[in-house]
Amino acid sequence: MTQEELFKTLIAHCKEYGFIFPSSEIYDGLSAVYDYGQLGSELKNNIKRYWWEAMVRLNENIVGIDAAIFMHPRTWEASGHVGAFNDPLIDNKDSKKRYRADVLLEEYIAKLEEKNSKEVEKARKKFGESFDEQKFCETNPNVLRNAKKIDEVRTRMVKCLNDSDLEGLRQLIIDSEIVCPISGTRNWTEVRQFNLMFETKLGSVSEEANTIYLRPETAQGIFVNFLNVQKTGRMKVPFGIAQIGKAFRNEIVARQFIFRMREFEQMEMQFFVRPGEEMKWYEHWRNARLQWHLAIGMGAENYRYHPHDKLAHYANAACDIEFNFPFGFKELEGIHSRTDFDLGNHQKFSGKKIQYFDPETNEGYTPYVVETSIGVDRTVLAILAHAYTEEVVQKDGEEGGTRVVLRIPAPLAPVKLAILPLVKKDGLPEKAREILTALKFDFNCQYDEKDSIGKRYRRQDAIGTPYCITIDHQSLQDNTVTVRERDTMQQERVPIASLHALLTERVSLSNLLRKL
Ligand code: ATP
Q: How far is the CA of 289 from the centre of ligand 1 (A)?
A: 16
pLDDT reported for residue 420:
97
Question: pLDDT tens-digit profile of 273-332?
Answer: 999 999 999 999 999 999 999 999 999 999 999 988 777 777 889 999 999 999 999 999
Return the number of other C-beta atoms located less than 10 Å from residue 132's C-beta: 11
pLDDT reported for residue 465:
98
Q: Give the full edge-to-edge strand order of the sheet including 317-325.
A: 62-65, 239-248, 263-273, 368-375, 328-339, 317-325, 303-307
Buried b (16+ CB within 10 A) or exposed e, 362-400: eeebbbbbbbbbbbbbbbbbbbbbbbbeeeebeeeebee
For residue 378 and ligand 1, the question of a CB distance below 6 A is answered with: yes
Please list the helix, strand and coil fractions of the chain in percent, rounded to the nearest 5, in that order: 45, 25, 30
Q: Which of 465, 503, 514 minimizes the C-alpha distance to 481?
A: 503
For residue 251 and ligand 1, the question of a CB distance below 6 A is answered with: yes
Q: Give the full edge-to-edge strand order of the sheet including 98-100.
A: 98-100, 86-91, 192-195
The number of angstroms, rounded, from the C-alpha of 429 to the middle of its chain's C-alpha atoms is 40
Separation between Cα atoms, residue 194 and residue 20, nearest integer Å: 29
Question: pLDDT tens-digit profile of 375-417?
Answer: 999 999 999 999 999 999 876 666 678 899 999 999 999 999 9
Q: Closest Cα to atom 24, ligand 1: which residue?
A: 260
**E strands present in 274-358:** 303-307, 317-325, 328-339, 356-358
SS3 category, 466: coil
pLDDT reported for residue 449:
96
Per the CB < 8 A criterion, the answer to whether 95 and 183 are in contact is yes
For residue 32 and ligand 1, the question of a CB distance below 6 A is answered with: no
Q: Closest Cα to atom 12, ligand 1: which residue?
A: 334
What is the residue type of 359?
P
Separation between Cα atoms, residue 159 and residue 153, nearest integer Å: 10
pLDDT reported for residue 396:
60
Block mean pLDDT (10 aa), the chain, length 516: 90 97 94 96 98 97 97 93 84 90 92 92 89 90 94 93 90 95 93 90 71 95 98 97 97 85 97 97 98 97 89 84 95 96 96 95 96 98 97 74 94 98 96 97 97 94 98 96 96 97 95 94
Buried b (16+ CB within 10 A) or exposed e, 432-442: beebbeebeee
pLDDT reported for residue 207:
61
- C-alpha distance from residue 319 to each of 10, 20, 261, 384, 508 (Å): 29, 29, 21, 24, 31
Q: To 10 degrees, what angle do helices 376-387 and 3-16 make?
A: 110
Separation between Cα atoms, residue 110 and residue 150, nearest integer Å: 9
Q: Which of 204, 259, 267, 220 minimizes the C-alpha distance to 82?
A: 220
pLDDT reported for residue 206:
62
* Percent of the chain scoring above 90 in pLDDT: 84
Q: How far is the CA of 261 from the centre of ligand 1 (A)?
A: 9
Ligand 1 atom index nearest CA of 266 = 16
Per the CB < 8 A criterion, the answer to whether 512 and 411 are in contact is yes
Q: Is 283 exposed, middle or buried, given 0-12, 13-18 or 19+ CB atoms closer than 10 A? A: middle
Per the CB < 8 A criterion, the answer to whether 9 and 1 are in contact is yes
pLDDT reported for residue 208:
58
Testing ligand 1's pocket by substitution, the residue of 266, 306, 320, 369 carrying the most ligand atoms inside 8 A of its CB is 266
Strand partners, 337: 317, 370
